[in-house]
A and B are shown apart, each in its own frame.
With several copies, the nearest count.
Chain A
Amino acid sequence: MRFAFTEDQVAFADAVRGLLRDQCTPDRVRAVWDGDEPYVRDVWEKLAGMGVVGLTAPASAGGLGMGPLDWVLLFEEAGRVALPAPLVETTAVAIPLLASLGESACVERAASGDGIVAITMADNVDRVAYGASADAVIVCTDDTVRLLGAGDFRVREVVPSVDHAWLLAALDTDAAAGQVVAEGPEAADAIADAYDRGALAAAAELCGLGEHLLAAAVEYATHRKQFGVAIGTYQAIKHHLADVRIALSYARPLVHAAAWHVAEHTPERSTYVSMAKAYASDAAVLASKKALQVHGAIGYTWEYDLQLWMKKAWALAVAWGDADFHRRRVADAVLG
């Protein structure tokens, strides 16, 4: 029993943290919010250069062949800066799915950072995250994995999520378009694993979002004065933020354990992913509400950056299954 990451895993996360802190600044997030670009392309390229984008691809496809224990901390860092880029979709979900099904050309391109791969697990292509900027789209239905190339679909409409940096596209495509990458039980298993990776990566990002929201609220409460004292001296403010600290401190171990279970492909992996996503969703939403309450009116404006993190937390708390959905999944596994 050893519940800790390796030095290499921690060092990689530290390096990514440094890069994102320097490169993925709030004004870069704003640029995506304002529609200047669909994701932070320059940051994405730098992440690709570091090996982050393709870390889940096999070495043969230019990747690092890494698993969830190697990447889960990186997603916390992505959450900490509210990274507006398809790290969950492309790196955690699409690349390993295609790689496991032997689809190497697309994997190689995605791993290099040159093109992004979007994925939908719904029965339709009406809400595809990053669908408007993807070179390829994976459509997973029941037990079929279909890969649409750039010529196989057109963007009908872009629907904003509450996180304006995370846009969903409605696509037009033919039912027979693209290429069937896998079918039958093998495909169904691969889809289930892909879903678990998506929920796990989202849970890790939610932890990072929550940590930033907490840190921002602590910072504000330390310097904002009312009645002649910093508002952080008030017990009500202290207890709001202590509650956030507690929620996040118990979400992270669940997320880390879920990463281990997914990495080890244990029979309980989906249950652990669901526990992690449920806890992390609730913790990040709690963090958003308490951070807003501590900031007061200033946090309630469009200009102030707090909303970039809050709204990403709200969107991610719902994406990949909300807390109620995942608790039902745990209940079905544990209670029958």
Chain B
Amino acid sequence: MDLTWTDEEEAFRAEAREWLARNKPSEPLPSGDTFEGFQANRDWERRLFDGGWAVVSWPREYGGRDASLWEWLIFEEEYYAAGLPQRVAQNGIFLLAPTLFEFGTSAQQDRYLPRMAGVEDLWCQGWSEPDAGSDLAGIKSRAERDESAGGWRLYGQKTWTTRGGLCNRLFGLFRTDPSAERHRGMTYLLVDLEQDGVTVRPLARLDGDGAAFAEVFFDGAFVADDDVLGAVNEGWSVAMATTGSERGLTLRSPGRFTASVDRLVELYRSTPDPDPLARDAVVRAWIDAEAYRLATFETVTRLAGGARMGPESSVNKVFWSEMDVRLNEAALSLLGPEAIFDDTPWMKGFEFALAGPIYAGTNEIQRNVIAERLLGLPRR
């Protein structure tokens, strides 16, 4: 065991820190989940790409710098410590990209990865549907074969599509075999949203951000055969690779929480005569964030040794999502009567955190997975 960074890693950290300090926007960025604030975020992320920092762990040919997982963690720590926000490109670079690297053809990789990293394409995820939330296998949107056009025609509806109203592309699951049921007969498709037969209706989030979600309606939109990711009718297993990433390591790097908890400690120190109960809540949040960071180091050590993420990603997801709620509640409790106001970073953080136990598989589903797949308790 060695919990120190190498000289190379320290140099990487110093380089990232310096670049971010020099290049980050002088003012805090507006929310990227609003129509008004989106472009400023996109501009910033383009700058990140131009500086070679958009996708550090990707190969250089696609805009990355071949960084190790360790370096990616370091970058994330520095990124969030600099006060920078979650990326508008994140669903592409963190959820689709791992699947593209694993299942995509080289043509698909060449076509999409650089534009994704450079925020020329913005990708949203087309998983959930009105009747398929926790029960993802219940999706009904379908792709009908259009042999003459060499592809598929889409029909149906997706919903809770993050930033759907701001994205030009969608990756999602569609039924391609009408005779198959549940997990079978679905195909993972890469869809151009800027075409006839697609209607996007934005949905505002609990905190009022107007472009946070969208409903996406398909009525004959076209997907060419070379935009099928993986094999036809094998979409479920292709998609599962992505949901593993969503629940596991990539969606919530420890740097996000160590940065939040550092701000919480600052808030504590600047609070006159803080309540001892709030002190306890703050130190619990601090320990939680440290536990999460160390558990991630353990995971990354295993992954670096060739292991793959299994159902323990569900342990991860429950932990970070509930930690995030507690962390923001600790801040609200420190704020006391001031906790009543809207648009403070902590109320916004609390509202944002409340989504954690719901999305990427509800925590109820995750606990079922932990019980059945990690502990071996019997399914019904």
Instruction: Using CB atoms and an 8 Å cutoff, list the residues of chain A in contact with chain B.
Output: 1-6, 69, 159-162, 164, 168, 214, 218, 221-222, 225-227, 229-239, 241-243, 245-246, 249-251, 253-254, 256-257, 259-261, 264, 275, 278-279, 289, 292-293, 296-297, 299-303, 307, 314-315, 318-319, 322, 324-325, 327-328, 330-331, 334-336
Judged by a CB distance under 8 angstroms, whether B379 is at the interface is yes
User: A243, B367: Cβ atoms under 8 Å?
Assistant: yes
User: B213, A239: Cβ atoms under 8 Å?
Assistant: no
Chain B residues with Cβ below 8 Å from A261 are: 3
User: B357, A300: Cβ atoms under 8 Å?
Assistant: no
User: B279, A331: Cβ atoms under 8 Å?
Assistant: yes
User: A237, B377: Cβ atoms under 8 Å?
Assistant: yes
Nearest Cβ distance between residue A15 and chain B, in whole angstroms? 19
Q: B283: which of A162, A243, A334 is its contact (CB, 8 Å)?
A: A334
Judged by a CB distance under 8 angstroms, whether B107 is at the interface is no
Nearest Cβ distance between residue B2 and chain A, in whole angstroms? 5
Chain B residues with Cβ below 8 Å from A251 are: 291
12 contacts between A and B (CB under 8 A): A1-B70, A4-B301, A162-B341, A222-B376, A236-B367, A238-B372, A293-B362, A293-B363, A300-B206, A301-B213, A318-B337, A318-B339
User: A330, B287: Cβ atoms under 8 Å?
Assistant: yes
Nearest Cβ distance between residue B230 and chain A, in whole angstroms? 25
Nearest Cβ distance between residue A323 and chain B, in whole angstroms? 9
Whole-angstrom CA separation of A164 from B204 in the bound complex = 15
User: B297, A161: Cβ atoms under 8 Å?
Assistant: no
Q: Which 4 residue pairs are nearest across A and B when measured between Cβ atoms?
A: A238-B371, A302-B204, A253-B294, A242-B367
Q: A227: which of B135, B290, B336 is its contact (CB, 8 Å)?
A: B135
Would you call the interface of chain A mostly helix, strand, loop, or mixed? Answer: helix
Q: Please, what's the 1-or-0 string for B232-276, where 1 marks a CB less than 8 Å from any CB in chain A?
A: 000000000000000000000000000000000100110000010
Q: A162: which of B3, B135, B336, B347 is its contact (CB, 8 Å)?
A: B347
Chain A residues with Cβ below 8 Å from B135 are: 226-227
Q: Knowing that A1-B297, A296-B358 are A-B contacts, what are 5 other residue pairs whose CB atoms are under 8 Å apart, sorted by A's residue number?
A: A3-B1, A3-B300, A238-B377, A249-B315, A307-B206
User: A297, B359: Cβ atoms under 8 Å?
Assistant: yes
Chain B residues with Cβ below 8 Å from A231 are: 134
User: B5, A1: Cβ atoms under 8 Å?
Assistant: yes
Judged by a CB distance under 8 angstroms, whether B280 is at the interface is yes
Judged by a CB distance under 8 angstroms, whether B374 is at the interface is yes
User: B294, A161: Cβ atoms under 8 Å?
Assistant: no
Would you call the interface of chain B mostly helix, strand, loop, or mixed? Answer: helix
Whole-angstrom CA separation of A296 from B297 in the bound complex = 31
User: B342, A242: Cβ atoms under 8 Å?
Assistant: no
User: B287, A289: Cβ atoms under 8 Å?
Assistant: no
Chain A residues with Cβ below 8 Å from B213 are: 297, 301
Judged by a CB distance under 8 angstroms, whether B146 is at the interface is no
Q: B287: which of A278, A292, A324 is its contact (CB, 8 Å)?
A: A278
Judged by a CB distance under 8 angstroms, whether B9 is at the interface is yes
User: A246, B370: Cβ atoms under 8 Å?
Assistant: yes
Q: A234: which of B159, B277, B286, B364 is its contact (CB, 8 Å)?
A: B364
Chain A residues with Cβ below 8 Å from B336 are: 318, 322, 325
Q: Please, what's the 1-or-0 string for B1-36, where 1 marks a CB less than 8 Å from any CB in chain A?
A: 111111001000000000000000000000000000
Whole-angstrom CA separation of A230 from B378 in the bound complex = 8
Whole-angstrom CA separation of A294 from B76 in the bound complex = 32
Judged by a CB distance under 8 angstroms, whether B205 is at the interface is yes
A6 closest partner in B (C-beta): B1
Judged by a CB distance under 8 angstroms, whether B111 is at the interface is no
Known contacts A4-B302, A322-B336, A324-B277; is A226 also within 8 Å of B205 by CB? no
Whole-angstrom CA separation of A336 from B343 in the bound complex = 30
Known contacts A249-B295, A297-B160, A334-B283; is A242 also within 8 Å of B370 by CB? yes
User: B298, A1: Cβ atoms under 8 Å?
Assistant: no
Whole-angstrom CA separation of A264 from B159 in the bound complex = 52
User: B1, A5: Cβ atoms under 8 Å?
Assistant: yes
Whole-angstrom CA separation of A236 from B286 in the bound complex = 29
Judged by a CB distance under 8 angstroms, whether B282 is at the interface is yes
User: A303, B297: Cβ atoms under 8 Å?
Assistant: no
User: B4, A334: Cβ atoms under 8 Å?
Assistant: no
Judged by a CB distance under 8 angstroms, whether B368 is at the interface is yes
Known contacts A160-B341, A275-B287; is A292 also within 8 Å of B354 by CB? yes
Whole-angstrom CA separation of A261 from B294 in the bound complex = 13
Q: A324: which of B9, B275, B342, B371 is its contact (CB, 8 Å)?
A: B275
Judged by a CB distance under 8 angstroms, whether B333 is at the interface is yes
Chain B residues with Cβ below 8 Å from A235 are: 364, 368
Whole-angstrom CA separation of A293 from B318 in the bound complex = 13
B284 closest partner in A (C-beta): A327
Q: B291: which of A253, A303, A315 is its contact (CB, 8 Å)?
A: A253
Whole-angstrom CA separation of A234 from B89 in the bound complex = 36
Q: B269: which of A6, A275, A296, A335 is its contact (CB, 8 Å)?
A: A335
Judged by a CB distance under 8 angstroms, whether B292 is at the interface is yes
User: B359, A3: Cβ atoms under 8 Å?
Assistant: no
Judged by a CB distance under 8 angstroms, whether B319 is at the interface is yes
User: A218, B377: Cβ atoms under 8 Å?
Assistant: yes
Known contacts A253-B295, A334-B283; is A226 also within 8 Å of B138 by CB? yes
Chain A residues with Cβ below 8 Å from B377 are: 218, 221-222, 232-233, 237-238, 241
Known contacts A227-B138, A257-B294, A335-B283; is A245 also within 8 Å of B342 by CB? no
Whole-angstrom CA separation of A301 from B201 in the bound complex = 13
User: A245, B138: Cβ atoms under 8 Å?
Assistant: no
